[in-house]
Structure 1
Amino acid sequence: MSLLTQSANKPGFFITFEGIDGAGKSTHIQAFADELSQRFPGRQIVLTREPGGTALGEKLREILLHHPMHLETEALLMFAARREHLATVIEPALKDGKIVISDRFTDASFAYQGGGRGLDLAKLYELEVWVQMRMKNEGGVEQRYVLQPDLTFLFDLPSAVAESRRSAAREPDKFEQLNTKFFEKVRQEYLRRAEDDPARFRIIDSNQSKEVIWNSLKEASLSI
């Protein structure tokens, strides 16, 4: 049985791409969406991102990526944008049976605000539960659960390698300007999240050629 038929978010399916800046996830996300469109012609693909994904979220994205602010303000705005994203894009799409692919989700908040910036993880867990707690009925019994992606691809890359890639990219935002030490802490928190939820995560070694990475993605997607 495929993950698609086992999804806790039936009848849709929720996939996220995660990784530190420079890891290469954004290079492959559109091609991956196209691949799934061919494999599942009867399902619409919704490609989105965080922060962003909605009109309000895109305005918050501009503020979050380019304006200095208190760390807790940053985390709260991230989850505010996420709540809007869930309410207006992700959950309606899942209920309609669509496949949602998001460039980042809650794992990024733990990695960047928690691992990188040092915000108490307990505060992030509280926000995660508040924003993502849902109810489902199983066998006539109402159960609470925290909505998570069905599948997360974590593009893992040593922070020093990612830094060299970022330096050759576009004008950096306030996160991309931070040093290798910061991104190594972000990376380690991503890996901790993956270790805590191995059934959800597929780690992609992105310190390889684009062709090898793409083949790894295609192989991992066969479980969908």
Structure 2
Amino acid sequence: MTGQGLFVSFEGVDGAGKTTQANRLADYWRARGREAVVTREPGGTSLGVEIRRLLLHGDEPIAARAEALLFAADRAQHVAEMIRPALERGAIVITDRYLDSSLAYQAGGRELTSDEIRGLSMWATGGLLPRRTYLLDIDPACAHRRLTHAEDRIESAGDDFQRRTRRAFLDLAERDPERFLVLDASAPADDIAQTICQDSANLVG
């Protein structure tokens, strides 16, 4: 957290409900008179939109190290252009994916080392981490059935990849229980939102 702002992230496999819950949390804080900035990775800035297109919708195969560097470049621009300035204004900053997605998808799913991915992202962001990370946990097969759009390159990576990624998220949460709050994403959306909003209110104090 920087200044009087609050930085939170949402994580989980595709289809877990991150976008829905991020928007619900923003509505909660806006109704209470706070600025709430909702963003995402990749693609939270103009540069990020181009990187997102290359990462998720490009036709050319991307080597694992090149993929990691592209995600880190997106994150560096995201923090510099959007997240840190908003925190310094005192905003509630809510991001759909952040560092932990790189650790889960690239180190867990694509088998690069966690130390390589973490070191790259921490350098790219100047060490900025969310105060709270909400992990929406769900069986990837159930989450996949929720998707209403055409699969991107990562969503189509296969069942084994998605299961490894889910396990990687849970391992990250187990190693950092002070930052993570793990939620059952198969529960009713209203119940999940209530828990998240109350937790974030406790963080703000």
Q: Which residue of 2 aligns with 1:56?
A: 47
Q: Structure 1: which 4+ aligned runs deviate by more than 6 Å?
A: none
Alignment of 1:193-208 (within 5 A): 193-208=172-187
- The reply on whether 1:104 has 2:85 as its aligned counterpart is no
The more displaced of 156-165 and 214-223 is 214-223
Distance 2:114 2:24 in 1: 34
- Aligned-partner residue type, residue 192 of structure 1: D
Residue number in structure 2 paired with 1:4: none
Name the SS for the 1:53 alignment partner. coil
Instruction: Tell me, yes or no, if the aligned pair for 2:75 and 2:121 is still in contact at 8 Å.
Output: no
- CA radius of gyration, larger in: 1
The 5 A counterparts of 1:138-217 are 146-166=127-147, 169-217=148-196
TM-score w.r.t. structure 1 length?
Answer: 0.85
Q: Which amino acid aligns with 1:176?
A: E
Structure 1: gaps (5+ residues): 1-7, 134-145
Kindly state the Cα deviation for residue 218 of structure 1 after the two structures are TM-superposed. Answer: 3.1
* CA–CA distance in structure 1, aligned partners of residues 87 and 153 of structure 2: 32
CA distance in 1, matches of 2:198, 2:157: 33
Q: 1:147 Cα shift?
A: 1.5
Equivalent residue pairs, number: 201
1:75–1:109 Cα contact (<8 Å) kept: yes
Alpha-carbon distance in structure 2 between the residues aligned to 1:31 and 1:98: 16
Shift of 1:217: 2.5
In the alignment, which residue of structure 2 is the partner of 1:5? Answer: none
From 180, 184, 200, give the equivalent of 1:221.
200
- Please tell me the root mean square deviation across aligned C-alpha atoms, in Å: 1.4
Deviation at 1:128, TM superposition (A): 2.4
Percentage of identical aligned residues: 40
Cα distance in 1, alignment partners of residues 197 and 122 from structure 2: 32
Report the secondary structure of 1:223's partner residue: helix
